[in-house]
Amino acid sequence: MPPDPPAAHKDGGEAGAVPGGAVQLPATLADVRRTLAGLTDRWRAYGIPPDLADHAELVLAEVLNNVVEHAVRGHQNARITVEWDQRPGGLDLRVTDTGKPMPGGDAPAGDLPERPDPATAPSEGGYGWFLIRSLAKDLSYRRVDGVNELRISLGTNP
Over its C-alpha atoms, the chain yields an Rg (Å, rounded) of: 16
Provide the 8-state DSSP code for 105.
Answer: G
Average pLDDT of every residue of the chain: 85
Q: Is the pLDDT of residue 123 over 80?
A: no
pLDDT digits (tens, 9 = 90+) for 64-121: 999 999 999 988 899 999 999 999 999 999 999 999 999 999 999 888 877 666 665 5
Share of the chain above pLDDT 90, in %: 68
* Superfamily covering domain 20-155: Histidine kinase-like ATPase, C-terminal domain (3.30.565.10)
pTM beyond 0.75: the answer is yes
Q: Residue 56, CB half-sphere, CA atoms under 13 Å: how many?
A: 32
> Predicted confidence band at 3 (pLDDT cuts at 50, 70, 90)?
very low
Q: Domain ranges in the chain?
A: 20-155
| pLDDT band with cut points at 50, 70 and 90 for residue 122 | low
Quote the CA–CA distance of 47 and 114 in Å, as a whole number: 39
Percent of the chain with pLDDT over 70: 80
